[in-house]
Structure 1
């Protein structure tokens, strides 16, 4: 009886701790997603060319995030590492991880911009319409410039998140969101001497917002907050350079998990384009809604990974299981609630994006499928976050590849294109991939948490 009581108290404490950490992360990630959402809504409200601009923004966004996700997740993997070092009392390691992560951010931003440029040069391979290409390429070139500030912000955020100061990035992100919405209105529709730029204007607003975010967080970390025990120059040593290789060794495979998932949904955008412009626009609306809740799930995942990192630093195996249980329970409850909102509020939600009847008719049906896979999407997202806290990257990457490209894409093509079911068929395949990944990744977390060597953590 006493053992059960102690377990219950520990679980409740972890739930509260996870909520405390996850809430600012969720709100911050929501703010980031709302920037893209604001672009979509404000572009969708244009009096002419809304459907074409929505399709172009979806293509550009898919290319951007498919390539950039590797670098973003690579830097986010540092947060659990900093949490572990903090729990061990190794403040020198925390500061060196930050410095190494900034250098990795600069390196990966250059590589990412080159890859985005290469994708733009070969855009014809995506077999989109000439009108789509004309709208997509200028917008893609503009948001590619935002890679550097985006990556630097992620590196700085990993430091503050790892020290469990998750509210800092949240406040900065929300301020940048307001900035983005105001300037979206100015640059999309025009104001005074500023001409209406449509989709390209939305890209300008987003770029400026990302630059402001990065500058603000850098000022906080290096000038405002008292992080002297982590950042004192006397703590810098040669091992800091070695950490860059460690971050890349763990981060790149972890980033590839995100790449194969994002690439799956990016390929779905391409296949929607094969069906019709209307189907593509409807898909963008529905996937934006699903992505909104997914970002919230990844916030819970990030908090769970940070707590798992701290448990490792404290050599607390039961704590690892409790942290995982707490994060998964919160995800299931939250995503279940979102599924109900999607199902019963689909008509109102879709009309908030667009007024085109043909787009609404398809999008409403897709949102129903979005409601179905919400639960599995949350489980797989949190499981990945927990596994990153354990620095377990290679096998989860294999699971991701199998689920999305061994099951999801083939089924989507077969049902949606080959069998002629259309947009709904593509979403059936996506749902199957999420079911598979959620089952396998959650199983992997519990198996790894049971067997991991806490004294000599290894990546396998």
Structure 2
């Protein structure tokens, strides 16, 4: 468990950086511009992250593949996976960025108020340009994570957050020589921050002596078409699994928007807080995928089981603390976003309480997904996620919110139910796969495993 914890911490912080860009945007927008721009920025951030989630989730399989290749001491294979990951990120960004642009131009389909629609469309168009640097950063980071060197991604992410906060302030307000762009200044700040992250990550990988054995000149001639297909074959189902969950929460934003702008702003505050703890759990999930993948590379099924159980324990512990925080300090957390709208603050505080309740389900399901990804099990988890979120969570959210008139609280009860179903089914899937591997897997390679 200690090894999982050491590996998880820097990955957690790096994962947090992806979602904290949106949190930072919302904090500045809510404080400086008010409830309607906050709702628009939140909706645009949610839908933009929805589009990029297929790439972010899909590319995460590369770290597990790198860990398996490292278990075999296959430096050339690691090189091919690294270059293939970069090419896959470019391919995905063209498709996903294009879809994001199309979605922005048809924003009226979401049935929001005219002001929210106008502001969110322009915000999302700027965010669409940031999909490429975001996915390049994620792809380059997989080499570091797979080789158990995640700290640099953590440091780059932390510095990017400071960069994003600074430019949010100066571009929204028009400080000094900078233009006053209002809400669009926040979107530009995120774009600039993601470009910085991609450039810094690639420079580190190519200049750090630690990675030189995997970046030899003779490796550059090796074809990577097979690895690109492998990443897409394994990554797209994994990315779709991530997409189905993110889409559920993004569409929940749309449903809440039908209830009114005040509900939309309140929902955005609560979902921002929940997304922070969720991304922390995805750090543990990534560590689980790496350790389980390394154990599978050594044919060490018991090691894979121990790595999975350690990740479950860590995630439950972390999310229990998050639940306690949400349940006891909900009013204070909401006040960080907005102070001058008591109606929005009251609704958001009640939603944060429900977010506290579903922390455990969220933490369990995401770690189960990571453990299964380390075993290259991606197709059945995708079906489970589709069922849990789109068959259970979304329809139930709508029914509770409108026919049963539970308002925004009903939407969140539906989300809680879907997360719980996913947590149960994915956990059962993991332990069944372990039992099956016990019956079919030969003895560990050389009798040695790092797990």
Band the TM-score falls in, shorter-chain normalisation: over 0.9
- Conserved 8 A contact 1:305-1:389: yes
Per the TM alignment, residue 239 of structure 1 is displaced from its structure 2 partner at its CA by 5.0
Aligned equivalent of 1:32: 18
Contact kept in structure 1, 2:80 and 2:222, CA below 8 Å? no
2:45 corresponding residue in structure 1: 61
Is the 8 Å Cα contact of residues 113 and 145 (structure 1) preserved in structure 2? yes
Deviations for 1:183-202, whole angstroms, at most 9, x for unmatched residues? 11100111124332222101
2:64 equivalent to 1:86: no
TM-score, structure 2 normalization? 0.95
Shift of 1:411: 0.6
Asked if 2 retains the 8 angstrom alpha-carbon contact of 1:415 and 1:426, the reply is yes
Name the counterpart of 2:101: 117
> Is the 8 Å Cα contact of residues 22 and 42 (structure 2) preserved in structure 1?
no
Structure 1 contact 312–454 (Cα < 8 Å) conserved: no
Q: CA deviation at 1:454?
A: 4.7
**Partners of 1:69 and 1:366 in 2: CA distance:** 24
- For residue 237 of structure 1, report the CA deviation from its aligned partner: 5.6
Task: Say which is worse superposed, 229-238 or 102-111, in terms of deviation.
Answer: 229-238
Instruction: Tell me the residue number matched to 2:214.
Output: 230
Answering whether residue 28 of structure 2 is matched by residue 42 of structure 1, we say yes
- Give the corresponding residue for 2:445: none
- Say how many residue pairs are matched: 440
Partner in structure 1 of residue 332 of structure 2: 348
SS of alignment partner, residue 358 of structure 2: helix
1:105 to 80, 84, 89: 89
| 2:249 paired residue number | 265
Greater than 4 Å deviation, 4+ residue runs: 236-239
Q: CA deviation at 1:415?
A: 0.5
RMSD: 1.3
2:2 equivalent to 1:16 = yes
CA distance in 1, matches of 2:305, 2:64: 16
Gaps of 5+ in 2: 443-451
**Cα distance in structure 2, aligned partners of 1:238 and 1:91:** 12
Equivalents in 1 of 2:20, 2:383: separation in Å?
31
2:197 paired with 1:242: no
Work out the CA distance in 2 between the residues paired with 1:67 and 1:178: 25
Are the equivalent residues in 2 in contact too, given 1:32–1:177 (CA < 8 A)? Answer: no
Q: Structure 2: how far apart are the matches of 1:100 and 1:227?
A: 16
- Residues 383-436 of structure 1: CA distance to partner in whole angstroms, max 9, x if unpaired? 001111111011000000110011101110001122111000000000000110
- In the TM superposition, what whole-angstrom CA distance separates every residue of 1:284-311 from its partner, at most 9, and x where no partner exists? 0000000000000000000011000110
2:371 alignment counterpart: 386
Q: Distance in 2 between matches of 1:236 and 1:28?
A: 28
Structure-to-structure mapping, 1:308-457, within 5 angstroms: 308-355=292-339, 356-452=341-437, 454=441
CA deviations over 1:27-72 (Å, ceiling 9, x no partner): 11223322211111111012x5x11111111221122111111111
Distance in structure 2 (CA, Å) of the matches to 1:371 and 1:130: 32
2:195 to 190, 203, 211: 211
Q: Give the 5 Å matches for 1:290-301.
A: 290-301=274-285
**Secondary structure of the residue that 2:329 maps to in structure 1?**
helix
Question: Structure 1, unaligned stretches of length 5 or more?
Answer: 1-14, 456-460
Contact 2:104–2:122, Cα closer than 8 Å, also in 1: no
Structure 2 counterpart of 1:181: 165
Q: What whole-Å deviation, never above 9, does each CA across 1:98-141 have from its counterpart, x for those lacking one?
A: 00010111111111111011111211111111111111111111
